[in-house]
Amino acid sequence: MDKLKFAFYWAASCGGCEIAVLDIDEKILNVVEKADIVFWPVALDTKYKDVEAFQDKYIDVCFFNGAIRTSEHEEMAHLLRAKSKTLVAFGACACFGGIPGLANVSDRDEIFDLVYRELPSVSNPDKTTPQLTYTAPEGELTLPQFFDTVKALHQVCDVDYFLPGCPPTPEMIEQAVTAIFEGTLPSKGSTLAPEKALCEECPLEIQEKKIPFIKRPYQVTPDGKRCLLEQGVICMGINTRAGCGARCIKANMPCRGCMGPTPEVADQGAKLVSAIASILGVEGEERMTEKEIEALIAQIKDPLGTFYRYTLPISLLRRKVIKK
């Protein structure tokens, strides 16, 4: 049998997904035994023009990590889609927009103003910001366009499978690769992770089902037994997909939702807001004044960054309204 052809690509990402691939350790040798890696910018010197030269569907499986932030990412998404039989959105950013997606509370002009003009460490007397073209003595130089809106991979091209996580665990990657080799992939569009919520994997116990107050993780010493929500820490586990093995919770940190919403949930953040609203400060709630309720809610610092940490671009909100 011919060896399979794999490709890896990184769009707007931190590089953690690349490391995650290497985290399968020596099993990478089993992979290269059965597959050739034909494109992997972080490790191989294959150029874009080489990829363009591939025949359509030349790549068997392309693992695409990172969100779509610039026109370069979008072009590569279309290119790799055309050249791959199977395209896998790899990691939270490709699946949901991820951390870079939080920039959707802003837009290009605001980001450029801040990053290239306003930050105290910036010295930019001409107030220059990145331009699409620049004519240098050597000729015309171009830069990819920086979009106003960060998108997930499936929002710009057709995606076959989703492998969520920040980053996906070595076990999930291994299972996915095994399924590819054995031809046991589920139907197109599936997420290669369990359908259940993290609570199914979580070792902690639910007792009270009430949250009297909200605290930030550093303000609480978890007792290691009770559900973190009951201890006042916002844990996204109740509507986050399982599959990570509750790694964060086992390290006494709340789930932050990197596996994305469970299958039925359309909007991970909104769902968690309504779940928390239903149990936060329930005791005596009907006697509270508007101000007391506001104070209760104000305990949640950075609600958008908490509830939509990984999923803003695919949420109902998607982004802030651009006034232009």
Quick one: which of 243, 144, 147 has its CA closest to 191? Answer: 243
Q: Binding to another protein (CB under 8 A): which residues in 37-66?
A: none
- CB 167 → another protein: shortest distance, Å? 24
- CB 262 → another protein: shortest distance, Å? 6
Does residue 264 belong to the site contacting another protein (CB under 8 A)? yes
Q: Which of 3, 78, 209, 301 binds another protein (CB under 8 A)?
A: 209
Name the one range near another protein by CB under 8 A: 6-14, 33-41, 179-187, 269-277: 269-277
* Angle (deg, nearest 10), helices 170-182 and 27-34: 30
Name the one range near another protein by CB under 8 A: 74-82, 128-136, 171-179, 276-284: 276-284
**Cross-strand partners of 226:** 205
Name the one range near another protein by CB under 8 A: 76-84, 90-98, 135-143, 259-267: 259-267
- CB 111 → another protein: shortest distance, Å? 16
Half-sphere exposure of 235 (CA within 13 A, CB side): 29
Does residue 297 belong to the site contacting another protein (CB under 8 A)? no
Of 115 and 206, the one with the shorter C-beta distance to another protein is: 206
Contacts of 44 (CB under 8 A, 6+ apart): 37
Q: Please, what's the largest Cα pairwise distance for the chain?
A: 73
Q: Which of 206, 293, 295, 298 binds another protein (CB under 8 A)?
A: 206
Does residue 278 belong to the site contacting another protein (CB under 8 A)? yes
Residue type, 56: D
Of 62 and 229, the one with the shorter C-beta distance to another protein is: 229
Does residue 132 belong to the site contacting another protein (CB under 8 A)? no
Residue type, 291: K
First to last CA, the chain: 56
Contacts of 58 (CB under 8 A, 6+ apart): 5, 38, 83, 84
Cα angle vertex 115, ends 112, 118, to 5°? Answer: 100
**Backbone dihedral region for residue 91 (phi beyond 0: left; psi -120 to 50: alpha; all else: beta):** left
Name the one range near another protein by CB under 8 A: 1-9, 39-47, 54-62, 316-324: 316-324
Q: Reply yes or no: is the peptide bond before residue 168 cis, omega within 30 of 0.
A: no
Q: Show the tokens assigned to 287.
A: 């006697």
Of 85 and 320, the one with the shorter C-beta distance to another protein is: 320
| DSSP helix/strand/coil, 267 | coil
Does residue 285 belong to the site contacting another protein (CB under 8 A)? no
| Residue whose entry in the numeric block shows the structure tokens 């509370």 | 105
β-strand pairing of 84-90 with 133-136: unpaired
What does the alpha-carbon distance between residue 178 and residue 188 come to, in Å, rounded to a whole number? 17
Q: Binding to another protein (CB under 8 A): which residues in 171-200?
A: 195-197, 199-200
Q: Which of 263, 285, 301, 302 binds another protein (CB under 8 A)?
A: 263
Q: Binding to another protein (CB under 8 A): which residues in 218-257?
A: 238-239
For the window 87-126, what string marks contact with another protein as x by the rule CB under 8 A? ----------------------------------------
DSSP 137: T
Where do contacts with another protein occur on this chain (CB under 8 A)? Answer: 148-149, 195-197, 199-200, 206, 209-210, 238-239, 262-266, 271-272, 274-275, 277-279, 282, 318-319, 322
